[in-house]
């Protein structure tokens, strides 16, 4: 098994080009199938934010796309998407998506993290936090930033659209 650690930084402040494809696919990354184990390790309201963006909002990733997130009670290393929050310091990122391990292009273990060092400083609304959570989850499923659309959480130059759009839905459904 090939082990990779890849990082996508979601921040308005850095604005680094990430080499997005025209379809906004993040390389070749995808889970083995549409049924993905989902561990929500968020604490406080971040647990709710992750849950809403992943599963419970009507336009969340799981009901809005062909992806099915199977809730599990512990983080894992195979066929898992794990979500966390914490005070990670002055890193330059609001949210981070990491492919922790993979076999070829198949993600075995992905992790989304929200950085409370920035998000809890009073400058960010709950909508902004949901936007970042939605984006990091989208990265784990194989999507890249999409700065051409203002109605998607995959746009990293805004923080006011906490949901995937029809383009994201179509792309995810074509991947899975």
The phi and psi torsions of 91 (rounded to 5 degrees) equal -95, -20
pLDDT digits (tens, 9 = 90+) for 32-58: 999 999 999 999 999 999 999 999 998
- Could you give the CA distance from residue 16 to residue 18 in angstroms, rounded to a whole number? 6
Separation CA 135–CA 116 (nearest Å): 16
Q: What is the pLDDT of residue 46?
A: 99
Q: What is the pLDDT of residue 91?
A: 98
Q: How does the average pLDDT of the chain come out, rounded? A: 89
Q: Residue 35 corresponds to which tokens in the numbers above? A: 């049924």
Cα–Cα distance for residue pair 39/12, rounded to 1 Å: 27
Sign of CA dihedral 89, 91, 92, 98: negative
The predicted pLDDT at position 23 comes to: 74
Residue 10: pLDDT over 70: no
pLDDT at 13 > cutoff 60: no
pLDDT grade for 128, boundaries at 50, 70 and 90? very high
pLDDT at residue 20 is higher than 80: no
In this prediction the pTM is 0.87
Residue 78 confidence (pLDDT): 83
Q: What is the CATH number of domain 6-10+24-175?
A: 3.40.390.10
The pLDDT value given to residue 59 = 86
Closest CA to 132 of 173, 158, 95, 174: 95
Give the pLDDT of residue 99: 96
Query: Per-residue DSSP letters for 110-171?
Result: EEEEEEHHHHTSSS--HHHHHHHHHHHHHHHTTBPP-TT-SSSTT-TT-S---S--HHHHHH
For residue 44, the model assigns a pLDDT of 98
Where in the chain are the domains? 6-10+24-175
Any idea which residue has 């792309």 for tokens?
Answer: 171
In this prediction, what percent of the chain has a pLDDT beyond 70? 88
Instruction: Compute the distance between CA of residue 176 and CA of residue 171 in angstroms, rounded to an integer.
Output: 9
Per residue in 56-115, pLDDT (tens digit) is 998 899 989 999 999 999 998 888 999 999 999 999 999 999 999 999 999 999 999 999
**Candidate from 13-27, 59-73, 160-174 with smallest mean pLDDT:** 13-27
How far is Cα 72 from Cα 99, in angstroms, rounded to an integer? 19
């Amino acid at each position: 098994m090939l082990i990779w650690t890849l990082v996508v930084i979601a921040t308005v402040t850095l604005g680094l080009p990430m080499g997005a494809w025209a379809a906004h696919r993040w390389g070749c990354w995808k889970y083995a199938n549409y049924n993905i184990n989902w561990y929500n390790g968020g604490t406080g309201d971040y647990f709710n934010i992750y849950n809403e963006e992943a599963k419970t909002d009507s336009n969340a990733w799981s009901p809005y796309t062909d992806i099915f997130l199977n809730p599990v009670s512990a983080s894992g290393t195979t066929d898992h998407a794990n979500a966390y929050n914490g005070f990670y310091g002055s890193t330059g990122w609001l949210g981070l998506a990491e492919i922790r391990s993979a076999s070829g292009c198949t993600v075995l273990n992905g992790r989304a993290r929200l950085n409370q060092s920035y998000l809890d400083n009073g400058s960010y609304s709950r909508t902004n936090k949901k936007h970042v959570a939605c984006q990091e989850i989208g990265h784990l499923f194989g999507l890249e930033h999409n700065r051409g659309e203002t109605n998607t959480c995959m746009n990293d130059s805004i923080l006011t659209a906490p949901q995937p759009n029809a383009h994201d839905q179509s792309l995810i459904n074509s991947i899975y």
